[in-house]
Structure 1
Amino acid sequence: MGHDMIAVLTHSPLFGNIEAESLASVLGCLQPKISAYPKNNYIALAGDEFAGLGIVLAGKATVIKENAAGSRIVMTSLEAGDIFGEMIAFSTLSAWPVSVIAQAESTVMFLPAVKIMGTCPNVCSSHKQLITNMLRILSEKAILLNRKVEYLSIRGMREKISSYLLDQHRQTARKTFTLTLNRNDLADFLNVSRTALSREMGRMRDEGLIDFYRSSVKITDLDTLKKVIE
C-alpha cells in the first residue's frame, strides 16, 4: 500500500490513535478490498449486496437516498478519509439501503464488518483501538442523524438555512467557512428546491445577514441570524 494511502488512513477517524507503523498489521487482519471508480459511477447501489464498511482513499463521493419516484435526498458528502456504511455494517441488513456515487474519480477501500469486530489473531492493542473508534463513530453518526431530522422538521426556508449555517459556525468556531456540500446537494440535504434555496440565500445576503462566494460563506450578522431560529 502506498504512502499516500497510509497518510489518508492515519487521518481517518476509524484509525485514530493508531500509529502508521501499526497500520500494516491491522490491515493484514482486516483483509480489505480496494476498488477504483470513475466520476459519476455508483460505488454502491441501493439494493445491491452490502460490500462492507467503505473508506474513501481518494476522490469525492455523495451518499444519497432515492425514492420510487426517482427523487433523491443527499445524506452526506465524502472526501478522502471519510467512511460510509457504518450504520448498517453491524445490522441484520444484507443490502445497501442507500446509494453512494463518485463525484470525482475515486478509490475506495472496503472492510468486512466481521473482521473489524472479530478477535484479532495477534491480540494487538491497535485492533482494540479500532473497535473503540468504531463505537465512537457510530455514536457520533446517531447524533448527526438526529440533527438531520431536526432540519427536516423546520418548516421555513430561512429557518432551515440559518440553522444549518449556525451549526457550521459552531463546528468551525469561525464566521467564515467553506461548505462541504455544493448548492444542489445542500438543497437536497435540507429537502428544499435549489432555486428556492439560492433565492433565499440571496435575500439574506441583501439584508446583510450573510455573504457568500461559491462554497465559501461568511456570517455578517450573527445575532440576527440567531434570532431567525428563536
Structure 2
Amino acid sequence: MSQVTLFTDILPEEQERMRVCFQAREVSFHNHEIIFAYSNTMNKIGLILSGRAVLYYCDEEGNQYMIDELKKDAVFGEPFLLPVDSRNYYVQAEEETRVMFIDYAHVIKRCENACWHHSQLVSNLLQMIALQSRQQVQRIYVLSRTTTRKKLLAYLESLSEELHSRKIRIPMSYTELAQYLSVDRSAMTREMKSLENEGILEKDGRTVCLKW
C-alpha cells in the first residue's frame, strides 16, 4: 500500500484523458508560499507532483503547529478527515513545489463513459487515505510518549521501519522535527547528544544510524 499513488495502474495516455475529464490544473509554488487554505467545503484535492510542503494548523493566538509533511505523490484537501472546523489549516510550500489540483466533484461523479481508470483512481485514493490514517495513528503514538527522549526514539524507530534500514536520514530540519514532535528544540538537542554519548545512535548532520 505504501507505494500506491493517485495514478497507480493507470496508463500515461489514460492519465492525460483523465486530466481533461477532471479539469485538472498544475500550479507551481515558491518556497514559503501558501498552496492551499482549508475551508468547510469539499471542493479540491491536491497532489504533490514535485517538491515538499507542510500541513500547518494555526490557533486563535497565531501559534503555528506542523501537522504533516507532504512529499511527492502525497494528497491533501478538504475530504481528508480533518476536524469539522478546518478553517485554521493550510498547506505551505517548503521549497519549489508543483501541485496538481482536481475538483472533488469530478472524482466522486462517474463520467458518462464509466471509464475503468476512473474506478482505479478512486480505489487508489481510498488506499492513500487509509495509508495516511495509519501514519496519523503512528504519529499519535509518538506524541503520546511521556518524555522528549521517548518521543524522539519512537519517531526514529518508526522512520527506520518505514525505510527498512537502521541508517536513516531525517526528512526535515531539526527545528521542524522539534515542532513535529511538539517538544522544545534545545531539550531535543540535548537528548540527541545523550543518545550519542550512550552509544544508542550515531549522527552526522540529519543522517542517523541506530545502534539498538
8 Å CA contact 2:57–2:90 kept in 1: the answer is yes
1:4-153 matches, cutoff 5 A: 13-46=5-38, 52-85=44-77, 88=79, 96-153=87-144
Stretches of structure 1 lacking an aligned partner (at least 5 in a row): 1-10, 223-230
Q: Quick check: which one's helix share is greater? A: 1
Aligned with 1:16: secondary structure?
coil
- Cα 1:90–1:111 change in 2 (3 A) is farther
Residue equivalent to 1:215: 206
Q: Give me the whole-angstrom Cα distance separating, in 1, the residues matched to 2:23 and 2:57.
A: 29
Aligned with 1:62: secondary structure?
strand
Aligned with 2:6: secondary structure?
helix
Q: Give CA-to-partner distance per residue, 1:110-166, whole Å, 9 cap, x none.
A: 111111121023221111110111111111222222222222221111111111111
Q: Give CA-to-partner distance per residue, 1:67-117, whole Å, 9 cap, x none.
A: 1222222122222322222x6358896965511111112221111111112
Question: Which amino acid counterpart does residue 149 of structure 2 have in structure 1?
Answer: R
- Cα 1:47–1:119 change in 2 (3 A) is closer
8 Å CA contact 1:62–1:76 kept in 2: the answer is yes
Question: What is the root-mean-square deviation of aligned Cα atoms in Å?
Answer: 2.4
- Cα 1:70–1:36 change in 2 (3 A) is same
Residue equivalent to 1:183: 174
**Residues 43-52 or 69-78, more deviating:** 43-52
Q: Give me the whole-angstrom Cα distance separating, in 2, the residues matched to 1:52 and 1:89.
A: 10
TM-score w.r.t. length of structure 2: 0.88
Q: CA deviation at 1:15?
A: 1.1
Count of matched residue positions in the alignment of Structure 1 and Structure 2: 210
Question: Which amino acid counterpart does residue 15 of structure 2 have in structure 1?
Answer: L
Identical aligned residues as a percent: 22
Question: Which amino acid counterpart does residue 130 of structure 2 have in structure 1?
Answer: S
Stretches of structure 2 lacking an aligned partner (at least 5 in a row): none
Residue equivalent to 1:165: 156
- Cα 1:193–1:29 change in 2 (3 A) is same
Question: Which amino acid counterpart does residue 72 of structure 2 have in structure 1?
Answer: A
Q: CA deviation at 1:183?
A: 1.0
